[in-house]
């Protein structure tokens, strides 16, 4: 199976960098490669990215410059994932989808961070999945699924086990895009998922080590997003 993974900054660097999480990701991706899966990876920025963006704002940086600062942090996280993957991964974070697909076709794991201002890594992952003709797109987030409302703010939030991409679009409609935005899937990413019709999972950190069985069809604790 060809799968694009987006490891959100909320699990890679919720406050400081989570090295144990990075090691668990690398171990699991090695297992998936040994099972002949094609793998593409995108890394988010997390709390450090938002700290740098906030500092840039205080220094009167433009929105575009703030985005570029955030992109730099995502690429640092991508570089750490590459380090953990060793010879399995391309040695530098990829900056174009074409290059990432070429690396994947050579049997290596391409790892990307952000690409251009105005896009989050959610959108990057959706574009990479489309460019590579992935069969599955998987997002990892600290809340472990898609909810009716933000579960960090409302204890009555309910998790969707299964939802259509149309329901996802309604949920994220009207969300304002800005540097450092932190939502499960941003509106641009959701629109791309709708356009491509790719099956999508939103999972939590505890499911990382279960990825091999989840790809074989095992149940999971997250949300499945289907076309329709």
Q: What is the pLDDT of residues 62-101, one digit of tens each?
A: 999 999 999 999 999 999 999 999 999 999 999 999 999 9
Q: Which of 173, 150, 146, 149 is nearest to 161 (CA)?
A: 146
- Per-residue model confidence (pLDDT) at position 185: 82
pLDDT band at 180 (very low <50, low <70, confident <90, very high): very low
pLDDT in tens, 14-62: 888 999 999 999 999 999 999 999 999 999 998 889 999 999 999 999 9
Residue 201: pLDDT over 50: yes
Q: Examine the pLDDT at 190 and tell me if it is beyond 60.
A: yes
CATH number of 2-226: 3.40.1160.10
Query: Residue 150's pLDDT is what?
Result: 85
CB 142 within 8 A of CB 11: yes
| 179 pLDDT more than 80 | no
CB 94 within 8 A of CB 41: no
Q: Cα–Cα distance between 31 and 82 in angstroms, integer?
A: 16
Which phi and psi (to 5°) does residue 124 adopt?
-60, -45
Which tokens go with 130? 């489309």
Q: Where are the domains of the chain?
A: 2-226
Rounded distance, CA 28 to CA 185, Å?
Answer: 23
């Amino acid at each position: 199976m060809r799968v694009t993974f987006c490891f959100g900054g909320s699990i890679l660097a919720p406050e400081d960098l989570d090295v144990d999480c990075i090691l668990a990701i690398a171990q699991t991706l090695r297992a998936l490669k040994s099972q002949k899966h094609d793998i593409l990876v995108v890394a988010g920025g997390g709390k450090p990215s938002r700290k740098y963006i906030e500092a840039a704002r205080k220094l009167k940086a433009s929105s575009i410059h703030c985005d570029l600062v955030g992109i730099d942090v995502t690429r640092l996280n991508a570089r750490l994932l590459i380090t953990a993957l060793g010879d399995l991964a391309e040695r530098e974070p990829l900056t174009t989808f074409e290059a990432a697909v070429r690396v994947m076709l050579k049997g290596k794991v391409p790892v990307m961070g952000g690409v251009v201002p105005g896009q989050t890594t959610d959108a990057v992952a959706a574009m990479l999945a489309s460019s590579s003709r992935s069969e599955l797109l998987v997002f990892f987030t600290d809340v472990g699924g898609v909810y009716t409302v933000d579960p960090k703010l409302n204890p009555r939030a309910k998790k969707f086990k299964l939802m259509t991409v149309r329901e996802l679009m309604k949920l994220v409609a009207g969300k304002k895009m800005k540097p450092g935005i932190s939502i499960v899937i941003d509106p641009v990413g959701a629109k791309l998922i709708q356009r491509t019709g790719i099956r999508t999972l939103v999972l939590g950190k505890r499911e990382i080590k279960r990825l091999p069985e989840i790809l074989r069809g095992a149940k999971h604790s997250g949300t499945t997003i289907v076309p329709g």
